[in-house]
Copies of this chain bind each other. A is one copy, B any other.
Amino acid sequence: MAAANGVHGVRVGVIGGGQLARMMIPAAIELGVDLRVLAEAEGMSAAIAADRVGDYTDTATVLEFAREVDVVTFDHEHVPQDVLRALVDAGVPVHPGPDALRVAQDKLVMRERLSELGLPVPDWARVETVADLDDFIADHGGVAVVKTPRGGYDGKGVRVVRSAAEVAEWFATIAEDGGAGALLVEELVDFRRELAQLVARRPSGEVVAWPLVETVQVGGVCSEVIAPAPRSAGRLADVAADVAITIAEGLGVTGVLAVELFETSDERILVNELAMRPHNSGHWSMDGSTTGQFEQHLRAVLDLPLGATGSRDDWSVMVNVLGGPAEGSLTDRYAAALADHPTVKVHNYGKAPRPGRKIGHVTATGDDLDAVVYEARAAAAFFQD
């Protein structure tokens, strides 16, 4: 579909056609990178750069797509290991690579590797039976968080339980889902707030960290991000950056890595989740940092020098548009929203509104945190009923 975009340019192939692939397109156009997307279906968010529609779990489809690009990267972490290994065996540069992605694909593997790296994580265990799970719950004050090792996102596959019986059906299915017949159980962390540390690492080793951010989740879905995280300067920011850089280097991550963190009531930092790709917690950087995460991801996977990650303003606040209007589209609300909020940046993912679906975000920046939070929330409210 899209013609060659970039004379003598480099070609980056993105597997997956969602909004993360979409938001790589503007950065690719500015840099003169020829971005090609293997989309799951027609009409997806990244359709303008979608060269091909096909099944990312099919090795032949992915190999054929990869033949036309210089490096393969991802909109999501769901490409199966055998497909990833086939790409590597065929000599295709894949960033992040299969070994790193394996850690993001399986929460049990993630907990094992983070523990091996000596990083702070919640108490956790691999449980294969109801009895094991009930033991863990009993040892942790009668409550725990159970997670399916694979396939969860935005709160799916995560459940707070007081009895193993509450996830009985998960035990019934784990044998089939590639999770090696086990669930992950973790202590329910008494956290003060959630933070996220975004870093980028290129294959030749350079790694950079953006400012630590605070994330607000509603129902397991990111709702709002404040950059930098208030009251985080100094030790907290240093520890978070160290943790994320240790993970990026320890796991050999290439591209953007997001590390979701808990700040506990007793002022510790614990690693919650990892995402080995541009991440919702980093959308603020498109408007709020010298280098946005999508530009940085392209630079990183191409092994180009990384850009400066400082904030352009004292504060940036990103608010997700979740669901959107009950009737019509985001653009129907522009006349009202843009008139009231001339400084806010609106990002529209080109997706049809649907309850709970991430269909866009808005970012405000400035030097007065209260005003910036107000601007971002008020603008986003125009897009919700």
Contacts and interface: CB of A to CB of B under 8 A. Distances in A.
Given A30-B348, A350-B32, A343 B3 contact: no
B312 A3 contact: no
A349 B3 contact: no
Nearest to A332: B8
B47 A331 contact: no
A59 B49 CA distance: 30
Contact of A7 (B7, B329, B338): B329
Nearest to A338: B305
Interface string A1-31: 1111111111000000000001101110111
A313 interface: yes
A83 B309 CA distance: 48
21 contacts: A1-B3, A2-B2, A3-B42, A3-B48, A5-B48, A6-B348, A6-B350, A8-B328, A8-B331, A9-B331, A9-B348, A23-B29, A25-B29, A26-B27, A26-B29, A31-B334, A32-B348, A32-B350, A32-B360, A306-B338, A307-B343
A94 to B, nearest CB: 20
A126 interface: no
A172 interface: no
Given A30-B346, A290-B343, A343-B307, A50 B3 contact: yes
| Interface of A, helix, strand, loop or mixed by DSSP | loop
Nearest to A1: B1
A107 interface: no
B347 A30 contact: yes
